[in-house]
């Protein structure tokens, strides 16, 4: 019983926090995990819900199945998924009197979800009073920069509420959109390489993009002394250049190592010492091969053994270690090679194919931060956004929203269909769901259950639309029940469509990606249905 009360209370918290943070006018939430921690100020779904501490496993499961899953897939839309899921869970729990009731409502939700997947296509048409037949879903034009900025603004604007102006937000959105378009490779199967480097101190208006790869890692004094360097050959590794006792040394003949050896007092080698000798010998051979190929820089995602690092410096090879996974892929792409993923004596012969060339590597100072600048020798369709913000609080919010933009634009490459923003897609979904509610009359118990859960579904989306529009009323009309509500929803969408039709995307302001919004609804319905099944198993077993 205590678990049930905790779950109901936390379900309300999830709904209130998510709904109050939605939209450009949503409030910034303050979260304090415990009395000793600092307070997190944010309006981003992932940062908010990851900072909260949930007592019930129901709440943790709902957040994982909605917010985290949605953000990992599309970068944005976690708040919508959480609001809808919480509402559906409440509707199912409040109307369930038997296992069959819960089962029937989950079946109804899954059927409606299939219906929405079918309807949300480019051929979707709506009949609006005073407007006629409209097609709200359009294909995104990648050559129209204003449309891309409108799509980007729909992600950044709701989150950039701490110390930023509209002019600064627009500048950041335009920079992100330009950088992503320029990073799209000619081969559609390759992933765009667009990086993000943060610099705290300057104004947000100083954010800019560059075609160079900027690597933000700690730089040693030895590395600084060897820079800058022009036209260097670079070897890229995403495997460790350190001693790995579990590497395939066991299958090798340990007595055939070369290079460095570990000396013991009694002259006998244990298994571990023999493996150590083999590893150091293998790494020494790698250094010798790199020196013979004229390599000037070694970039490694993981650690480099101190002795190997010393040997590289002795041969005038710059060692760069602990490069992040994203940065090491960008460095490899800048060099035009694939990183070395495994080391063994059999793979030494193929090491040459992992050596590339860049135009230059320079050390840059960004306020108190020193970064490495890799300038490609040829155009590699790569971009790095240098994001600036006056303080850490603003930077954390902006950086989070910028990463969400890159995820969303990457999704748009696969499904580039958009609708006018500002709550249009939520109104469309609400109207489509309303059309599936059984008509009033002599309904069976199953039909009444279907009507209740779908009414809750549609009403929640209408509430989200009102919140996104920044008003308690949709288009100035109060929410009403059944047919009256449908009429007001159509009036609201008609009014939005009239204001957006015939205008440029810059005047329109916002665009929403259909794939992201539909993904949020799918995660919400799946989470509600799965939790209802678990709940049904526990309660009625």
- Inter-residue contact 470 to 25 (CB < 8 Å): yes
- Same domain for 206 and 269, yes or no, is no
Share of the chain above pLDDT 90, in %: 23
The residue out of 354, 387, 415 marking a domain boundary is: 415
- Same domain for 240 and 364, yes or no, is yes
Tens of pLDDT, residue by residue over 110-156, are 999 999 998 888 777 776 666 567 778 888 989 989 889 999 988 88
CATH number at residue 464: 1.10.560.10
Q: What is the pLDDT of residue 129?
A: 60
Give the lowest-confidence range in 338-352, 359-373, 504-518: 504-518
- Same domain for 328 and 453, yes or no, is no
Distance CA 43, CA 30 (A): 9
Q: What is the pLDDT of residue 36?
A: 55
> What is each CA distance from 249 to 176, 311, 345, 350, in whole angstroms?
46, 22, 9, 18
**Average pLDDT, stretch 64-87?**
91
217 in any annotated domain: no
218 in any annotated domain: no
The residue out of 366, 400, 415 marking a domain boundary is: 415
- Same domain for 372 and 233, yes or no, is yes
72 in any annotated domain: yes
- Same domain for 183 and 321, yes or no, is no
- Same domain for 342 and 304, yes or no, is yes
Higher-pLDDT residue of 159, 438:
438
**Average pLDDT, stretch 457-470?**
84
153 in any annotated domain: yes
| CA angle, 9 then 79 then 85, to 5° | 55
Give the lowest-confidence range in 29-38, 56-65, 417-426, 531-540: 29-38
- Same domain for 238 and 97, yes or no, is no
Q: What is the pLDDT of residue 254?
A: 46
309: CB partners within 8 A, 6+ apart: 319, 321
**Average pLDDT, stretch 461-468?**
85
| Residue 534 scores a pLDDT above 80 | yes
Tens of pLDDT, residue by residue over 400-459, are 889 999 999 999 998 999 988 878 888 889 888 988 888 877 778 888 888 899 999 999
- Same domain for 177 and 106, yes or no, is no
| Residue 474 scores a pLDDT above 60 | no
Q: What is the pLDDT of residue 127?
A: 67
Tens of pLDDT, residue by residue over 479-518, are 333 444 445 555 555 555 555 444 343 444 788 999 999 9
CATH number at residue 276: 3.50.7.10
Q: What is the pLDDT of residue 56?
A: 84
- Inter-residue contact 210 to 315 (CB < 8 Å): no
Give the lowest-confidence range in 26-30, 165-169, 513-517: 26-30
Q: What is the pLDDT of residue 39?
A: 65
- Same domain for 460 and 530, yes or no, is yes
Q: What is the pLDDT of residue 522?
A: 95
467 in any annotated domain: yes
Residue-averaged pLDDT of the chain: 80
- Same domain for 159 and 243, yes or no, is no
- Inter-residue contact 385 to 175 (CB < 8 Å): yes
219 in any annotated domain: no
Dig out the tokens for 12 from the structure: 């309300």
Dig out the tokens for 465 from the structure: 């639309």
Q: What is the pLDDT of residue 227?
A: 84
Distance CA 213, CA 210 (A): 8
What residues form DSSP beta bridges with 168? none
Higher-pLDDT residue of 159, 462:
462
CATH number at residue 152: 3.30.260.10
Tens of pLDDT, residue by residue over 382-404, are 899 999 998 888 888 888 889 99
- Inter-residue contact 358 to 232 (CB < 8 Å): yes
306 in any annotated domain: yes
Q: What is the pLDDT of residue 244?
A: 76
- Same domain for 347 and 385, yes or no, is no
Structural domain harbouring 29: 2-136+419-540
469: CB partners within 8 A, 6+ apart: 23, 422, 423, 475
14 in any annotated domain: yes
Q: Give the torsion sign (CA, 114, 116, 119, 122).
A: negative
Dig out the tokens for 299 from the structure: 């970039």
Q: What is the pLDDT of residue 538?
A: 63
| CA angle, 134 then 411 then 185, to 5° | 115
Domain count, the chain: 3
Distance CA 399, CA 6 (A): 34
């Amino acid at each position: 019983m205590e678990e049930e009360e905790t779950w109901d209370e936390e379900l309300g918290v999830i709904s209130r926090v998510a709904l109050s943070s939605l939209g450009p006018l949503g409030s910034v939430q303050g979260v304090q995990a415990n009395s000793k921690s600092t307070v997190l100020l944010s309006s981003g779904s992932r940062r908010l819900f990851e900072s909260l501490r949930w007592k019930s496993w129901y709440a943790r499961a709902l957040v994982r199945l909605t917010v985290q899953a949605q953000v990992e897939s599309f970068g944005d839309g976690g708040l919508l998924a959480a609001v809808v899921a919480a509402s559906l869970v409440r509707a199912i729990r409040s109307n369930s009197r038997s296992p069959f009731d819960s089962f029937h409502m989950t079946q109804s939700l899954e059927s409606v979800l299939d219906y929405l997947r079918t309807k949300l296509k480019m051929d979707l048409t709506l009949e609006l009073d005073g407007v006629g037949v409209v097609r709200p879903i359009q294909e995104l034009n990648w050559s129209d920069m204003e449309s891309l900025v409108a799509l980007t603004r729909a992600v950044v604007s709701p989150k950039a509420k701490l110390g930023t102006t509209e002019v600064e937000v627009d500048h950041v959105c335009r920079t992100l959109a330009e950088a992503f378009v320029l990073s799209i490779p000619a081969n559609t199967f390759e992933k765009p390489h667009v990086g993000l480097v943060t610099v705290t101190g300057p104004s947000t208006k100083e954010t800019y993009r560059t075609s160079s790869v900027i690597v933000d890692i700690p730089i040693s004094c030895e590395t600084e002394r060897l820079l800058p360097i022009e036209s260097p050959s670079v070897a890229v590794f995403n495997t460790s250049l350190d001693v790995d006792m579990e590497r395939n040394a066991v299958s090798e003949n340990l007595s055939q190592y070369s290079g460095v050896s570990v000396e013991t007092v009694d002259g006998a080698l244990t298994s571990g010492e023999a493996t150590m000798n083999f590893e150091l010998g293998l790494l020494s051979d790698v250094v010798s091969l790199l020196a013979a190929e004229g390599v000037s820089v070694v970039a490694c995602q993981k650690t480099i053994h101190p002795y190997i690092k010393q040997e590289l410096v002795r041969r005038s090879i710059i060692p760069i270690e602990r490069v992040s996974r994203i940065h090491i892929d960008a460095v490899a792409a800048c060099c035009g090679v694939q990183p070395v993923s495994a080391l063994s004596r059999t793979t030494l012969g193929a090491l040459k194919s992992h050596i590339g060339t860049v135009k230059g590597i320079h050390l840059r100072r960004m306020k108190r931060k020193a970064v490495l600048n890799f300038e490609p020798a040829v155009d590699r369709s790569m971009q790095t956004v240098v994001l600036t913000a006056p303080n850490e609080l603003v930077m954390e919010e902006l950086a989070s929203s910028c990463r969400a933009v890159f995820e969303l634009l990457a999704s748009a490459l696969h499904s580039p269909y958009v609708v006018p923003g500002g709550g249009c897609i939520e109104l469309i979904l609400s109207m489509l769901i309303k059309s599936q509610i059984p008509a009033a009359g002599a309904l069976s118990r199953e039909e009444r259950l279907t009507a209740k859960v779908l009414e809750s579904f549609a009403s929640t989306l209408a509430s989200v639309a009102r919140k996104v529009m920044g008003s308690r009323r949709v288009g100035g009309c109060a929410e009403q029940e059944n047919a009256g509500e449908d009429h007001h929803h159509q009036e609201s969408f008609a009014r939005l469509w009239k204001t957006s039709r015939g205008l440029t995307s810059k005047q329109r302001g916002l665009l929403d990606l259909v794939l992201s919004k539909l993904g949020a609804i799918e995660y919400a319905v799946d989470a509600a249905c799965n939790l209802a099944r678990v709940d049904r198993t526990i309660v009625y077993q």
